[in-house]
Amino acid sequence: MPKKMYHGSSRKGAKVLRPSKKGKGKPAGVYATPRKGLAVFFAIKGAGWRNLRREKGRWKVTGLSDKELSSSGSLYRLNPKKFKRYQGWEYISEDSVKVKREERIDNIGKELKSLGFKIN
């Protein structure tokens, strides 16, 4: 089990994350990842796996506007013991999860670049 678990959201100030339906065919849950950069990416409202590619060992963000990339959001740190592996870098909790810590992000695109992501 990873030592850290992150959840990115466009919603700020959450104290508890509750399970919700995320995408066609996916079970309801709280989704998280041990990869900070991926969680930061998912803080962009409406962003999805269709907007990410892996090229030469580096994540590339595609198909998002400058407005979406410059949006703000929150990175939530969660207790990894509440999660089980779903698929790939995604983990899921079918129960509500209390937020351990919130980090606000003023410009998600800038933060992604600082974490090594290639933008468009």
Structural domain includes residue 13? yes
pLDDT tens digits, 32-77: 999 999 999 999 999 999 999 998 889 999 999 999 999 999 999 9
Structural domain includes residue 99? yes
Structural domain includes residue 79? yes
Torsion, Cα 51 80 108 87, to 10 degrees, reads 0
Count of structural domains, the chain: 1
Structural domain includes residue 58? no
Structural domain includes residue 96? yes
Is the pLDDT confidence value at 119 over 90?
yes
Range with the poorest average pLDDT among 3-17, 24-38, 93-107: 24-38
Is the pLDDT confidence value at 101 over 80?
yes
Find the mean pLDDT for residues 87-98: 95
Structural domain includes residue 118? no
